[in-house]
Amino acid sequence: MIKRRYTSNTSVITADAMIDRYLNSEGAVCDIDGLDTDVVRTARTTKAKEDIMKLTTSITIASLIMLSCLPAKTHAADVPSVAPEAVADYIRAVVQSHRAFYEGHVVDLLEEQGVAKAGSEWSTQKMTIPLPVQVVNETSQMFSTKFTGLRYQLISLWPINRKNSPRDQIDKSGLEALGARPERPVTRTVKINDQVYFHAIYPDLAVSQSCVACHNGHPNSSKKDFQIGDIMGGLVIEFPLSAQ
């Protein structure tokens, strides 16, 4: 049982130390009187926010590394060329690894502890954190559209949030092509406002039962029979092939 103690005696363990010990223990069960429950919950939430900040910081750093692979205003002889397919693979690997970390070590952990839940209304609901798909799409929008031309986005033919629908016919046809050939991405070059872009869509598979249950049970979902291993949508990766 964790009891909050206010004392100047260093031989008596403090509330903060007990909370820290609890947060760093596995499977700890506590019975906390009065406001102590709020203290522990606040500490857990603070720790979760710190984990999310570390995650977003690492995404930013990784994104800068990825951007170094994109075309720059320089002579072709100055740097070795990197195939656009390889650049897209690098970007996908970073996005997927950060998404998996967030889902497994932030969302699942906080929901198991009853601290917070993941939900689409995270910006207005208390004790709610973003869904993994929102972390991917929101971080992309934070830096990509105005400065680099790099776009990565999770989209679907059956989105719960309409913002995650195909942007255009290119996105839509790419998603449809994944159904016939899910083992590799659908790639092409496209021209947008006189700029040539490399465009790739990778399959986004249903890998967890919680993800399947959410989509099958959500009132805004137009498809309610997903199973583990099904293609739920695609990860779009798009970037310019030359600097203007």
What pLDDT, in 10s, does the model give residues 78-132?
Answer: 555 789 999 999 999 999 999 889 988 898 888 888 999 888 888 898 999 988 8
Q: Is residue 65 part of a domain?
A: yes
Q: Is residue 87 part of a domain?
A: yes
User: Which residue would you say has higher pLDDT here, 32 or 208?
Assistant: 208
CB < 8 Å & 24+ apart, contacts of 109-118: 109/48, 110/44, 110/48, 113/44, 115/41, 115/44, 115/45, 115/48, 116/45, 116/48
Q: Is residue 16 part of a domain?
A: no
Tell me what pLDDT residue 211 has. 81
Quote the pTM value.
0.68
pLDDT band at 27 (very low <50, low <70, confident <90, very high): very low
Instruction: With CA atoms as reference, report the closest residue to 197 among 136, 137, 244.
Output: 244
pLDDT band at 214 (very low <50, low <70, confident <90, very high): confident
Q: Is residue 166 part of a domain?
A: yes
Q: Is residue 28 part of a domain?
A: no
**Residue range of the domain that includes 72:** 34-240
Q: Read off the tokens for 145.
A: 């559209």
pLDDT band at 185 (very low <50, low <70, confident <90, very high): very high
Please give the distance of CA 235 from its chain centroid, rounded to a whole number: 11
Tell me what pLDDT residue 66 has. 53
Among 10-14, 34-38, 103-107, 183-187, the range of highest mean pLDDT: 183-187
Which helix (H) or strand (E) covers residue 49, if one does? Answer: helix 36-67
Q: Is residue 22 part of a domain?
A: no
User: Which residue would you say has higher pLDDT here, 12 or 191?
Assistant: 191
Count of domains for the chain: 1
Q: Is residue 25 part of a domain?
A: no
Q: Is the pLDDT reported for residue 36 higher than 60?
A: no
Q: Is the pLDDT reported for residue 26 higher than 60?
A: no
Q: Is residue 5 part of a domain?
A: no
